[in-house]
Amino acid sequence: MIAHPVRRPLRADQVLACTLAFACAAAAAQVSETVDAMIARDIQVAEAQYGQLLDRLRGQPGFPRSVAKGEVVTVGPLDWTAGFFPGTLWYLYEATGEARWRSAATRYTADTAPAKFDKSQHDLGFMLGSGYGNGLRLTGDASYRDAMLAGATTLLTRFNPKVGSIQSWDLWPGSTWAYPVIIDNMMNLELLMWAARASSEARYREVAIAHADTTLKHHFRPDGSSYHLVDYDPQTGAVRGRVTVQGKADGSAWARGQAWGLYGFTMMYRETGKDAYLRQAQKIAAFYMGHPRLPTDKVPYWDFDDPAIPSAPRDAAAAAIASAALLELAGRSEPALARGYRDFAEQTLRSLSSPAYLAAPGTNGGFLLMHATGHKPAGTEIDVPLNYADYYFLEALLRLRAASSGAARTGGTGGTGPSR
């Protein structure tokens, strides 16, 4: 992990654009702003903030992930969050059409290449789909397709047919688990579904569906909430335990885990048309949206069951992921449910676009959103910016923009561009 000082000032044009945008944000909190105006303002702020981040990084290796002790924290290409930085740059290119974002996205996407052969982790969908996946969708570059296929093939090596799942984490010394699988892993299936289409090889799709079916069977509670981690016996596939690592308690509802599940099952319904996935996504949505401890601004506490609520930290990343997921779910649900999902997502995005969450110009280390929580039990990344909060925030805004213009749009590897 390399830390860079957060000192470089904004250029004068950025300061002016940001100050105007932020003044608008403050005003928008008082008066109602159209969805289109809100999205345009958010993108303007994103351009200024990410321009600042790029300036700060120039010539130095690494991908900005967060801010700690006033300094931007960067990570290497094998960190699970590395791809979100180029992914966000691709979304800025998509949002604006400006060549400078394409060229920055191209450079940082290339820097994530080592991930495609990394057999030691399950996060290749995040790491490759965000950069290479969006790059492929937006440019059609054939080398991106090759990188994605290599990554998908690497990911298959973590599948055990006895369990019917992809192993999330390797066992570390002293670990009592045998085959840990976390709910987040649903997000990596999009890469496999894409690979099945791109290669016409069924094995990618078969593994993705097996993993989703196993998750459906073992990860959920009757109320639609999920356990963070299910540990399996690799010889028999039997469940050995259900625990948490990033949540408050084994039986609690870690907010981001609920958002990953919601997004993952919505995406798998899009990719397969399997009704059980749609029903599960709708069940998760009902749990999340109707939770009595969800704040009125719809940005969840980091865990729905933290006894410290209402003094517990929020997780803006969970809010952004859930918004992106609900906007897709809305497009795949019957009208009465769809309206509720869209309204809820819009309300969440309005909160995230307000000065309570959207960074003031030149602050927040150049990241967009404040108040995300990475790993509360470990005491790390609490109430900070996180690159994946920004990535899914922009994805949700682009989905909202497409929905308000009547276009279908998914982003990542599931886009409607050249990758399909």
Catalytic residues: 123, 184
- CA torsion sign for 11, 12, 15, 20 is negative
Q: Which is closer to ligand GLY, CB of 139 or CB of 373?
A: 373
Distance of closest approach, residue 115 Cβ to ligand GLY, in angstroms: 15
Contacts of residue 36, defined as CB under 8 A and 6 or more positions apart, other chains included, come to 401, 404
Q: Which is closer to ligand GLY, CB of 165 or CB of 333?
A: 165
Contacts of residue 166, defined as CB under 8 A and 6 or more positions apart, other chains included, come to 122, 155, 158, 159, 181, 185, 188, 207, 211
Q: Which is closer to ligand GLY, CB of 64 or CB of 374?
A: 374
Q: Which is closer to ligand GLY, CB of 219 or CB of 256?
A: 256
Q: Which is closer to ligand GLY, CB of 164 or CB of 374?
A: 374
Distance of closest approach, residue 345 Cβ to ligand GLY, in angstroms: 19
How far is residue 133's CA from residue 105's CA, in Å, rounded to a whole number? 12
Distance of closest approach, residue 215 Cβ to ligand GLY, in angstroms: 14
Distance of closest approach, residue 63 Cβ to ligand GLY, in angstroms: 15
Q: Which residues of 169-185 are buried (b: 16+ CB within 10 A; e: fewer)?
A: beeeeeeebbbbbbbbb
Q: Are 172 and 138 in contact (CB under 8 A)?
A: no
Distance of closest approach, residue 184 Cβ to ligand GLY, in angstroms: 4
Positions in the binding site for ligand GLY (CB under 6 A): 80, 184, 246, 256, 374
Q: Are 148 and 185 in contact (CB under 8 A)?
A: no
What residue number has its CB nearest to ligand GLY? 184
Per the DSSP assignment, residues forming a β-bridge with 372 are 384
Q: 10 Å Cβ neighbour count for 32?
A: 8
Q: Which is closer to ligand GLY, CB of 65 or CB of 291?
A: 65
How far is residue 402's CA from residue 399's CA, in Å, rounded to a whole number? 5
Q: In what order do the strands lie in the sheet with 71-75?
A: 2-5, 71-75, 63-68
- CA torsion sign for 346, 96, 115, 390 is negative
Residue 310 preceded by cis peptide, ω within 30 = yes
Tell me the DSSP string of 138-178. Answer: HH--HHHHHHHHHHHHHHHTTEETTTTEE--BPPPTT---S
Contacts of residue 328, defined as CB under 8 A and 6 or more positions apart, other chains included, come to 263, 266, 267, 270, 399, 410
Distance of closest approach, residue 375 Cβ to ligand GLY, in angstroms: 6
R_g of the chain computed on alpha carbons: 20
Q: Which is closer to ligand GLY, CB of 21 or CB of 267?
A: 267
Distance of closest approach, residue 135 Cβ to ligand GLY, in angstroms: 22
Distance of closest approach, residue 371 Cβ to ligand GLY, in angstroms: 15
- CA torsion sign for 160, 165, 170, 175 is negative
Question: In terms of Cα–Cα distance, which of 266, 267, 244, 239 is closest to 257?
Answer: 244
Q: Which is closer to ligand GLY, CB of 256 or CB of 409?
A: 256
Specify the pairing of strand 239-243 against strand 63-68: unpaired
